[in-house]
Amino acid sequence: MLWLAIHLPHLALELFGPSTPPFVVSAGPDNRPCVHARNRAAAAAGIQRGMTLSAARSLCATLAVRPRNAAAEQAALEQLAAWAGQYTSQVSLQLPTATQPHHGLLLEIGGSLQLFGGLAALQEQIGAGLHALGYHPRLGIAPTPLGAWLLARAGDTQPAGDRAELTRRLHPLPIALLEIREQTRQTLRDLGLATLGDCLRLPRAGLARRLTPDLLIYLDRAFGLLPDPRSHYTPPAAFNARIALPAEVENSAALLFPIRRLLLELVGLLRARSAGVQELLLQLEHHQHAASRINLGLLQPSRDAAHLLALLRERLERLELPAAVEAVSVQAARFPALDQDHRELFAERSDGGNDWGALIERLRARLGHEAVCGLRLHADHRPEHGWRETAPMPPQALQTTAPASLPPRPLWLCATPAALATPPAQPLLRGPERIESGWWDGRDAARDYFIATTPQGPRLWIYRDRITGEWLTQGLFG
């Protein structure tokens, strides 16, 4: 087996998304909160971790602060676990404990190497995907999950391919990395031990008498001398992810990054399930206002994050925000299987067969769902009733020619027939074509149709109303 560990040392900060102004996450008692994490702008202002919040505000009057949210951190980690399912079916959570305050994931990747082009390619793809989500992880690779986790926490990104290599790489690591009780760690220091290798050089029997057996079990699991079973994460049936923003946002353009992160997480889940999404809900939360909602529907299932983001961007540009946005969430409940021609290994869209669907979805996002539809012929001789609206259809499914029994028809019809100022001059190009219909629905039509031309050249489709005697223009030939 081969394990890849993902250590997220800045999760408490990064789950809020990027922030350019000075921003910190606070923790500690209400009467004396301290800086738990800070971004680069806050660090440049002189703010340090562990500093009291009042001292930090004295250094930067415009400092944005959000309290640490342990539940949100776990939710973000679970969302990442669902995203990581696209690379392997064996994903385990590394949650904080009393002896281990760090967040991370453990992925068993031994069975995925051939599928993703080898270890180096897979490691690069996972790292690039995490950076695209806005995280700055540390990755470690080893034949044991605990060994990979220790390498990741130490910042050692070079893979340890076997137990011999892992042993050599773990020996110089400091005992500060050990996730053990502080009392045990202090005893090791009192014995003059500084590294994991120092611990292993002592007689096991003597070390066991001086310390609890937990230390030896921990070390044996890290070096592969004992099994280290891990429970696998099972993603929920529906996708429901939320990002609280570091500061209120008043324009839709600034919302694109958190929306993109949520869509990338959704796409990871969809790839793990070999599925797509056809409906999703975007919610923008406001202070003291009802959330703004955008329901996005697709003609066919998709897991193309760029396409989904483009559609939501079109809708956002038309949305008037009632107030500043505090948080963003994306929800999706149904994941239909993709068609066979969508199941490529690396490409998510074909070269042209689905361009029509993307175009229809883009037009609907920009113009509104009801503004875009398909047309079909209807058996009625009256031109204004000879068609019906229908759902958009791919080009190959369209009926592009009128029935052969009908005389030529113009492509453009007037919304309302326009009266001619004077009767047309003779001779007319073609006609008459007599139409008498509609007695059954109260909209009788008795007309003689002709094809005429104008001095400027365009050909018109005109008719004489046999009931009123009027001449009207019905359409225009291209």
Per-residue pLDDT of the chain (478 residues; tens, 9 = 90+): 999 999 999 999 999 988 889 999 999 998 999 999 999 999 999 999 999 999 999 999 999 999 999 999 999 999 999 999 999 999 999 988 877 789 999 999 999 999 999 999 999 999 999 999 999 999 999 999 999 999 999 999 999 999 999 999 999 999 999 988 888 888 899 989 999 999 988 888 888 888 877 889 999 999 999 999 999 999 999 999 999 999 899 988 889 999 999 999 999 999 999 999 999 999 999 998 999 999 998 888 999 999 999 999 989 988 899 999 999 999 999 999 886 444 444 444 444 445 767 777 777 776 777 777 777 878 888 888 888 888 776 666 665 555 556 788 888 888 889 998 888 876 788 888 999 988 888 888 999 999 988 777 788 999 999 989 999 999 988 7
Q: How far is CA 399 from the centre of its chain?
A: 37
Q: Which of 153, 188, 185, 192 is nearest to 169 (CA)?
A: 153
Q: 333 by DSSP, 3-state: which?
A: coil
Residue 79: per-residue pLDDT: 95
Task: Please return the burial class of 16, using the count of CB atoms within 10 Å of its CB with bins 0-12, 13-18 and 19+.
Answer: buried
pLDDT at 342: 46
Query: What are 325's strand-pairing partners?
Result: 249, 286
Burial of 215 (C-beta count, 10 Å sphere; 0-12/13-18/19+)? buried
pLDDT at res. 343: 44
Q: Is residue 166 within 8 Å of 144, Cβ to Cβ?
A: yes
> So what's the pLDDT on residue 339?
62
Secondary structure element (H or E) that encloses residue 309, with its range:
helix 305-318
The predicted pLDDT at position 398 comes to 60
| Domains of the chain, residue spans | 3-21+62-223, 239-366, 400-476
Confidence (pLDDT) at 344: 47
Answer CATH for 239-366 from 2.30.31.10, 3.30.260.10, 3.40.605.10, 3.30.1490.100: 3.30.1490.100
Residues 6+ apart with CB under 8 A from 191: 202, 210
CA distances from 29 to 3, 231, 246, 412, 457 (A): 38, 33, 21, 73, 84
Residue with tokens 């959000």: 66
Q: Residue 346: what pLDDT?
A: 46
Report pLDDT for 130: 96
23-27/64-67 β-pairing: parallel
Q: Are 267 and 341 in contact (CB under 8 A)?
A: no
Q: Please say whether the beta carbons of 188 and 207 come within 8 A.
A: no
Whole-number Å distance between alpha carbons of 153 and 102: 9
Instruction: Supply φ then ψ for residue 201, to 5 degrees.
Output: -80, -15
- Per DSSP bridges, beta strands 459-465 and 445-453 are antiparallel
- Quote the pLDDT of residue 426: 67
